[in-house]
Amino acid sequence: MEYRNLGRTGLKVSELCLGTMQFGWTASKEVSLEVLTTAFESGINFIDTADVYSRWAEGNPGGVAETIIGEWMKGSKIPRHQVVIATKVRGRMGDAPNDEGLSRVHILQAIDASLRRLGTEYIDLYQTHWFDESTPIEETLTTLSDLVRAGKVRYIGCSNYPAWRLTEAILVAEHQGLSRYDSLQPHYNLVNRAEFERELADVCRSYRIGVIPYSPLGGGFLTGKYRQDNTVESGRSGGVRKYFSERNWKLLDAMREIGDQRGGHSLSQVALGWLLSDPLITSPIIGPRSLEQLNDNLGAAGFRLLPEEKQLLDDASDWRN
């Protein structure tokens, strides 16, 4: 497993990041613990979660994924410094008016709750889950900077930020001497490129921001699960139907051919390899719901596309055409 610096920082993270949105939702607690152990033993040291995971699921009050990670850390007795834990704040965690957002009051409540659930004294990467239009960016960044100074947080990052807000945050931090965002989690994959590439990529490149893409497999579309002649029905199929086009079916054919020519790599591994072949990308976030899916994803570790292979997929999925 290769390890990379997170953006401009000296924090080294594995080339694949283990996402945990599925913990306590589509993956049981027992399976989640097995996935965590296997991932760590395979070289993954980077674990991404959020306080809201997965509050939308029936019977899940939020905080479940963090709690599972905390129990795993305690039970496995892995030295804390060997794991890079990233979590997020922003979503609603209760019914009171200040139980969501990026205000000072909510962040200070949320950080202590996350630390308690995770069973740790500090969070390596604390991320704002999406931007809060009702809270001044100065208030958010000042609060996050206070957490860094207090030792509760090592680095800060953000997710789902538009380019204008990310740029504003960087400039405000630099002007006021505050901690700045060192990472971005964008929705980025072969069939969803424009959202990141149109503006955000240049911002991340210019300010040396680490990029941790989520949904690198396009909700399952880039795994080959869905086929033009035999579309699989599943609980998530509605969200990926937007990718059902002649162009994208041909993209899957091209990916399949590359995988076969390179020794039998799966479509998932080719999709992850496409991201890993871009020097701007730090760690794609994988979200396996089973050991089988995890082992398939792990096959992408160390896999890089040849320049001509990457160019072929770039051309086949170019949103500007």
Is the predicted pLDDT of residue 227 greater than 60, yes or no?
A: yes
Collapsing DSSP states into helix, strand and coil, what is residue 9? Answer: coil
Specify the pLDDT at position 242.
Answer: 93
226 counts as catalytic: no
Phi, psi (rounded to 5 degrees) for 300 = -85, -15
In the block, which residue shows the tokens 């490149």? Answer: 205
In the block, which residue shows the tokens 């795993």? Answer: 72
Q: pLDDT tens, 301-315? A: 999 999 999 999 999
Identify whether the C-beta of residue 144 lies closer than 8 Å to the C-beta of residue 152.
no
CATH of the domain spanning 3-218+275-303: 3.20.20.100
CA distances from 250 to 222, 241, 254, 264 (A): 12, 15, 6, 19
**To the nearest whole number, what is the mean pLDDT of the chain?**
96
Q: pLDDT tens, 33-60? A: 999 999 999 999 999 999 999 999 988 8
Specify the pLDDT at position 235.
Answer: 47
Q: Write down how long the chain is.
A: 321
Catalytic residue, chosen from 3, 53, 126, 226, is 53
Domain limits, the chain: 3-218+275-303
Task: Give every CB contact of residue 236 below 8 A, 6+ residues apart in sequence.
Answer: 219, 220
Overall pTM > 0.85: yes
Which whole number is the average pLDDT over 280-298?
A: 98
Specify the pLDDT at position 237.
Answer: 58
Who wins on pLDDT, 258 or 237?
258
Residue 238 banded pLDDT, cuts 50, 70, 90? low
